[in-house]
A and B are shown apart, each in its own frame.
Chain A
Amino acid sequence: MKESLMDVICCPIDKSDLELTVDERDDEEIIAGTLTCTECGETYPIEDGIPNLLPPDMRDEATA
């Protein structure tokens, strides 16, 4: 993901702003990192450049 994505995303649970922590970057592309909700503190992983903004209870579940 690119940093500009931060303008359009929020915490899926309480819609608060997210804070970006970058672990791995390739030029402008953020490959790995964490998005943390500034309100509830929930964390969302960025893996292979894709932020996973599913709430924790949906993250591992398959299709529903």
Chain B
Amino acid sequence: MGAMNDRCDRRMTDDSKRRLADRRGQETRVYQPAEDSALLADVVVNVVESGDRVLEVGTGSGWVAEQLEHETKASVYASDINPFACTAARDRGVATIRANMLDPFARRSFDVVCFNPPYLPTDPDEEWDDWMEHALSGGPDGRRLVVPFLSDLRRVLAANGRGYLLISSFTGYDEVVSIAAEAGLQTDPVREESYPFETLFVLELTPIEMSTNDDL
């Protein structure tokens, strides 16, 4: 949990490069659990029921998935695009799949899908082309991976399935709610925690019932 405290240092200024450099001092390839991970794990552990199938997208170190594995009686799966993250998660004993977002997951497979996306808005000129950048940067608007996640989530959710997405005030709360609505998802904030420079939210995403064309 070494990265737990330094998240509070972040601010919306032009020092993102220095911030990322600080992170690199600790770990250069795999995002380590921080307070956002703890918040997401705490919410999801308490909603998962025995026998559920649960997927954590972008698992990073595998820590959240490991908590789910230990604290629940669900079948837990974790995915990441980063091969080093996949190895880290596998070494924690989690069933791990190397994947781009939800691409290789079959329709109606999961009761719960959770995601702590990279969400720091990052100037394209300041992007470091490496794995840690990928784990932290949310692109110019902070929503680089939030959008593809929301647009494909309904497909992989089982009946009564739900998604849990961690976002920051940096991610643009209202924008995320509106993108979710366009993807046929209702958004309910189920947890909120304030830090000196940002507020973290866990959003519960529930497919909106549609009278027709519900067979996505």
Chain A interface (Cβ < 8 Å from any Cβ of B)? 1-2, 4-5, 7-12, 15, 44, 48-55, 58, 62-64
Chain B: interface secondary structure? mixed
Shortest beta-carbon distance from A63 to chain B in Å = 4
- CB contact between A12 and one of B82, B99, B131 (< 8 Å): that residue: B99
- What number of A-B contacts does a CB cutoff of 8 Å give? 69
Contact A50 B98 (CB under 8 A): yes
Q: Is the interface of A mostly helix, strand, loop or mixed?
A: loop
Of A4, A7, A50, A62, which is within 8 A of B97 by CB? A50
**Is B106 on the interface with A (CB-CB < 8 A)?**
yes
Say if the beta carbon of B129 comes within 8 Å of chain A: yes
Contacts of A15 in B (CB 8 A): 106-107
A63 touches B133 (CB 8 A): yes
Per the CB 8 Å criterion, the residue count for chain B at the interface is 27
Query: Scoring B residues 90 to 108 as 1 if CB is less than 8 Å from chain A, else 0, what string do you get?
Result: 1000011111100111110
Q: Is the CB of A50 within 8 A of B90?
A: yes
* Residues of B close to A44: CB separation below 8 A: 104
Among candidates A1, A12, A49, A62, residue contacting B103 with C-beta atoms closer than 8 Å: A12
The CB with the most chain B CB atoms within 10 A, among A4, A9, A44, is that of A9
What is the bound-complex CA distance between A10 and B99, given in angstroms?
Answer: 11
User: Counting CB contacts under 8 A, is B143 at the interface?
Assistant: no
Residues in A neighbouring B86, C-beta threshold 8 A: 50
Q: Using Cβ atoms and an 8 Å threshold, which residues of chain A touch B74?
A: none
A10 CB contacts on chain B under 8 angstroms: 104-107
B130 (CB) vs chain A CBs: closest residue: A63
Q: A1 vs B94: C-alpha distance in the bound complex, in angstroms?
A: 9
- CA separation between A63 and B81, bound complex, in Å? 8
Q: Are A9 and B105 in contact (CB under 8 A)?
A: yes
Tell me whether A9 and B97 are in contact in the complex, defined as CB-CB below 8 angstroms, given that A50-B86, A50-B87, A63-B134 are known contacts: yes
Q: Are A12 and B104 touching (Cβ within 8 A)? A: yes
| Top-10 shortest CB links A-B | A53-B104, A12-B103, A12-B104, A8-B109, A63-B134, A10-B106, A52-B98, A53-B99, A50-B86, A9-B104
